[in-house]
Structure 1
Amino acid sequence: MTTERNIRTNFAFYAPEGDGGAWHTTLNSLERALREAFPDPVIALRRSGIRSMAVLDFEIEQAPDVWLVGTAALTEPDYPYITLTDVTADEAGPFAVWLRDGFAPAPDLVRSTSSLAMANGEDTPSPLPAEGGGDDITALLRRHLEAFDH
């Protein structure tokens, strides 16, 4: 019997390549969406020291005792992204579904990758399928991690 590894990494979610404005959103609208979707989130706006732009840091309770920590930068048309820090595929999957179905204006507008993939030389995010529930997306993210877990 094999036991599945519980790989922890950072997951990043992006708008479609070449269309940084596809999400038609701001940090303020992301903050509102997080507050509506998750109970008592901790949210802070700050200026990033790396690229000198406004970012939104958040901590949300996705399920009882399952906390996600993330950062978002929604600069258009540059490089809008939302990252989750130190999460498993099981934790990132439901957030990815919320992002795709509950935040992005259309389900075909979210791409994802992980720091594990990037550390192994793969720096091109892949589109999330426009369909599929939490179990499907979680399984997809697990397979993604397994492909780079050497």
Structure 2
Amino acid sequence: MAVEHTLRSNFVFAPPEDTPAAWQTSLETFRDALERAFPDAFLETNTSGLRDVPVLDFEIEVAPEVFVTGTAAMPASDYAHVSIIDVTADTAALFAHWLRDSYVPSPASVRFLSSFVMENGDETPWAVPSTGNAAEIAAVLRSHLAAADA
């Protein structure tokens, strides 16, 4: 019997700390990439109430009937992060797989952190595997979540 993984968390994806400009991105290029990959995406540019910078709010269907809602902040070429909210590790992995393989310039340039782990006192980012499919990424995300219980 397969185990269903239902723990939900928010995930933040960002470039490596030692090379924050690794993605060389902007809200416009991120919007364009989302529109190409997810033609029915809901996309809306707003201003973050926390940092007073432009953000892109989005909702995309990463698999049939599987939706991801998030926000991208990319106010400068050396600063970027994408947050997705209230998702399982499996759903977050579908998004991370697209981000790693279809948007960022290097598959080794994506790190992540979850709100669940941060709430338990750990703010150490983990790397998204630079190879592998969404199931392999999900296994790493689940390990990350499980580390909070250890």
Change (3 A) 1:5 1:90: closer
Cα distance in 2 for partners of 1:9, 1:24 equals 27
1:109 is aligned to 2:109: yes
SS of the residue 1:33 aligns to? helix
Matches within 5 A, 1:19-58: 19-58=19-58
Q: After superposition, what is the alpha-carbon deviation per residue over 1:73-122, rounded to whole angstroms, capped at 9, x for unaligned? A: 01336641101100000100011111111100011100001000110111
Which residue of 1 is the match for residue 88 of structure 2?
88
- Mind listing any 5+ residue stretches in structure 2 that lack a counterpart? none
Runs of 4+ that moved beyond 6 A: none
Q: CA offset at residue 130 of structure 1? A: 1.0
Counterpart contact for 1:20–1:76, Cα < 8 Å: no
Q: TM-score, normalised by structure 1?
A: 0.92
- Mind listing any 5+ residue stretches in structure 1 that lack a counterpart? none
Cα distance in 1 for partners of 2:101, 2:2 equals 33
Q: CA offset at residue 149 of structure 1? A: 4.1
Q: CA offset at residue 148 of structure 1? A: 1.6
Counterpart contact for 1:43–1:59, Cα < 8 Å: yes
Which residue of 2 is the match for residue 126 of structure 1?
126
Q: TM-score, normalised by structure 2?
A: 0.92
Counterpart contact for 1:14–1:125, Cα < 8 Å: no
Instruction: Give the % identical residues.
Output: 47
Cα distance in 2 for partners of 1:16, 1:75 equals 17
Q: Give the count of matched residue pairs.
A: 150
Structure 1 vs Structure 2 CA RMSD? 1.7
